[in-house]
Structure 1
Amino acid sequence: MGIKLLQFYKKPIALLHKQDGFTLLELLIALAIFAVIAVLAYGGLSVVLDVRAQTDLQAKTLAQLQLALSLLARDVEQAVNRPIRNKYGDTESAFIGEPTFIEFTRAGWRNPTQSTRSTLQRVRYFWHEQQLWRSYWLVLDQAQDSQAETGVLLTDITNLQIRFLDNRLQWHEQWPPDAQAVVTQVENGEKLDPLALKAIELVLTVKSWGKLTRLLRVATIAGQTQTKQDVQ
């Protein structure tokens, strides 16, 4: 009887031994599949992270660009007809400019500490070494030791071109225009309005964005015939 019972239980015991774990081949196949999935997942994650980094960089660049252009537009819109005296004692026009810089007097300089100073400010925007800079002076009529406060507004600016539109809708490469660019005050017997600056056009070439064009309205600034050397 005991021998028969032992023979009866042999088969289930053998079956149980066959179901223990995986074979070496099965483990190798599973590891290979896992490795392929891991590589694909890492590649996809790497692409997502690269795209996110590029998007963040573009967003940061765009925010800086918008901030700089907003500041420039605000300053230009507050330009006033107030000539200044430079540190050499020479008088400079209220608004001067060439294709790569503008300099002018603006209103609206905030004075939260109620200091004894004017609310007018002399500012200058210029392009140098692929950067857009802004300078301002603490006084309008400068002494020999007057120094400008200067900072970078934008980087990766590969080019800057500025043009000046007068109230007769004529474009100029500099302001004030030189004597040859100014139309006579009398044309066909009709007296024209005095020459004045109406707007400026800025064309910035940004490394990551290409060409950007802005047309900025200027408060009425009287013009005058002046040579290029006079405005430098």
Structure 2
Amino acid sequence: MGRCDLDARHGPQVVRTAAFHPIERGFTLLEVMVAVAIFAVVAALAWGGLDTLARSRHALDAESARLAALQRAVAMFERDLRQVAARPVRDGSGQTRPALFAGGDGIEVSRFVGQGGWVGPSPQVERIDWQCRDGRLLRARWPALDRAPATRPEAEALLDGIDDCRWRFVDDGAVVAAWPPQEADVAALPRGVEFRFRVDGVEYRRLLELPQSAEHAP
């Protein structure tokens, strides 16, 4: 816009002024370097937080899987012992093995198992072998009660990192470390079984009362 001045000699005159144009300026190299440095620090902090979160999640998932494996192994052991059957078997050499035999790091037991969802006239019996070996808890299932020399069990590793397996048996108030006791009948069963073991330095203990109906196995 111009400005109008009155001059007595020359009359009105318009005085023009120059229009204002702002000066355009960009970022300096120092400002860019500071911005990049701040971004790098923020990114490093964010990555550290995400990495810590991922590691924590991984550790939590591993611990959850470990707990699930422990619960599954203990549940299977309890099921096998609660379905115990007073049925001795013959091994591959023709020798009689007691209905429940335990010594060292293992326990072998006959147990009832239903066929076809318990549709049959009576439950069947199978032989199960539990072993603590090389830091693992193994469960083996024999395909036949009375074995041939070439009969081999189907084994499954249920738990890793296990050690110090111990079995104890309760019978008429007495506690023994092996079963069966000397001079006991091969079909005899204890009234209770205690299983102690350690996993990653933590000790666990299970004490199970065996069913009285186990004395009437076929």
User: Normalising TM by the smaller chain, what interval?
Assistant: 0.7 to 0.9
Identify the residue that residue 88 of structure 1 maps to in structure 2: 93
Select 1:130's aligned residue among 126, 135, 152.
135
Alignment of 1:73-222 (within 5 A): 73-111=78-116, 119-166=124-171, 168-178=172-182, 196-207=189-200, 210-220=202-212
Cα deviation for residue 158 of structure 1 reads 2.8
Taking structure 1 as the reference length, the TM-score comes to 0.76
Q: How many angstroms apart in 2 are the aligned matches of 1:96 and 1:146?
A: 18
SS in structure 2 opposite 1:8?
Answer: coil
Identify the residue that residue 225 of structure 1 maps to in structure 2: none
Identify the residue that residue 8 of structure 1 maps to in structure 2: 18
Q: How many angstroms apart in 2 are the aligned matches of 1:87 and 1:37?
A: 70
Runs of 4 or more above 2 Å deviation: 109-112, 219-222
How many aligned positions are there? 197
> Which of the pair has more CA radius of gyration?
2
Cα deviation for residue 30 of structure 1 reads 1.1
Q: How many angstroms apart in 2 are the aligned matches of 1:173 and 1:211?
A: 18
In structure 2, relative to structure 1, the CA distance for the partners of 1:61 and 1:47 (3 Å cut) is same
Q: How many angstroms apart in 1 are the aligned matches of 2:165 and 2:157?
A: 15
Gaps of at least 5 residues in structure 2 are: 3-14
Cα deviation for residue 111 of structure 1 reads 4.3
Does the aligned pair in 2 maintain the 1:109–1:121 contact within 8 Å?
Answer: no
Q: Deviations along 1:140-181, whole A, 9 cap, x unmatched?
A: 112222221112111111331211111x222111011246xx
Cα deviation for residue 210 of structure 1 reads 1.4
Q: How many angstroms apart in 1 are the aligned matches of 2:44 and 2:78?
A: 51
SS in structure 1 opposite 2:92?
Answer: coil
Q: How many angstroms apart in 2 are the aligned matches of 1:74 and 1:49?
A: 37
Q: How many angstroms apart in 2 are the aligned matches of 1:100 and 1:132?
A: 10
Q: Which amino acid aligns with 1:216?
A: L
Q: Deviations along 1:75-97, whole A, 9 cap, x unmatched?
A: 10000111111111111111111
Q: Which amino acid aligns with 1:8?
A: A
Does the aligned pair in 2 maintain the 1:161–1:203 contact within 8 Å?
Answer: yes
Q: Which amino acid aligns with 1:16?
A: I
Does the aligned pair in 2 maintain the 1:99–1:163 contact within 8 Å?
Answer: no
Q: Percent identity?
A: 30
SS in structure 1 opposite 2:190?
Answer: strand
Name the one with the larger strand percent. Answer: 2
Q: How many angstroms apart in 2 are the aligned matches of 1:26 and 1:81?
A: 86
Gaps of at least 5 residues in structure 1 are: 183-194, 223-232
